[in-house]
A = this chain, B = another copy of it.
């Protein structure tokens, strides 16, 4: 199938070879246990979880002063493999490992915006995800079964709590910057609020202080599709056929919200799959239908349905002003890091106006903030696609020594 938007995404990707001067080259994930029975991770929901293993990657070299570390925060479907080429992708049996470069390879590497000649870059997979860090797929040591829905509900703030444990493990007192888009941007904001002494700067892309009612609604529909799938078995499907059809529907829907109406119109419009006339059938007829199906099907090969439930729920719950009675200005009063907020005009999941609210709340505390609104037709996905515009902004922001 012609997959114009994917072609477009592929064109945007850096295809430096692993040996290229601009690539971090071959990478290998590391795994570390950051919570055990003596030192469990306390979660917002009240539960304690242990053990917790975190999968992470690093690129570049930590300076002797340990003052050049940049922590990258991934979004819903991301992983620790942010840059370079997975050295063990063929040996490793885990289905998400592949020979593609990391998900933000066009931003991270020698001489790139997040310059690994200059910075020590860290990226860790999220708690509850399915890419190496402890999640619902993992054995619950108490029951001897995979967690499934026994996995505790996790929040953006919980993730940051765990990120800080990794920061401690790496012996880094203060990060030069934390950087993330979408759900990653919310982690960056939470980090700036909850651990103001642990970071110098935060870059928040395509994110805001909270998801709106429409976003909550889309997430609810996606989760319902997963739960309805008879293969879901109340989350205990490991070792059985997974609820792929439900997850596929959830991803198709999610994908629509990541694109803008304009970009879908421009890339697909109403073009038919077969020629220029309708075939009059209920089955796939328009190219946009096949594209979505392709997106859904490729996603279910690499993602876990339970993780989808937990990560979208964390996205729902995040509300920076929530603990402050809805007062975002007060919520932002603890922030000490310099902030760069980047919004994209056609992003309707975290629209620019919602990002501007964060900027205003920081200004209301008489603190400096940089807010940039990038004209883009790519919708929410712009934070991954508009690297040619976004990259130099992040690059110069990281270089600032004010």
Contacts and interface: CB of A to CB of B under 8 A. Distances in A.
A286 B216 contact: yes
Contacts of A218: 256
A45 interface: yes
A310 interface: yes
Contact of A265 (B155, B212, B286): B212
Copies per complex? 2
Interface residues of A, number: 58
Interface in A178-223: 210-214, 216-218, 220-221, 223
Interface in A151-177: 152-153, 155
Given A292-B220, A317-B278, A249 B265 contact: no
A214 B248 CA distance: 17
Contacts of A152: 280
Contacts of A230: 230
A239 interface: no
Q: Is the interface of A mostly helix, strand, loop or mixed?
A: helix
A52 interface: no
Contacts of A285: 316
Contacts of A132: none
A395 interface: no
Contact of A289 (B155, B216, B256): B216
A368 interface: no
Interface of A: 44-46, 149, 152-153, 155, 210-214, 216-218, 220-221, 223-225, 228-230, 245-246, 248-249, 252-253, 256, 259, 261, 264-265, 267-270, 278, 280-282, 284-286, 288-289, 292-293, 296, 309-310, 313, 316-317, 319, 322, 348
20 contacts: A45-B280, A149-B282, A152-B280, A153-B282, A212-B264, A213-B268, A214-B256, A214-B261, A216-B270, A216-B286, A217-B252, A217-B292, A220-B289, A220-B293, A221-B249, A224-B248, A225-B249, A228-B249, A282-B309, A282-B313
Given A214-B264, A221-B292, 9 more contacts: A212-B265, A213-B265, A213-B286, A213-B288, A214-B265, A216-B268, A216-B289, A278-B317, A282-B313
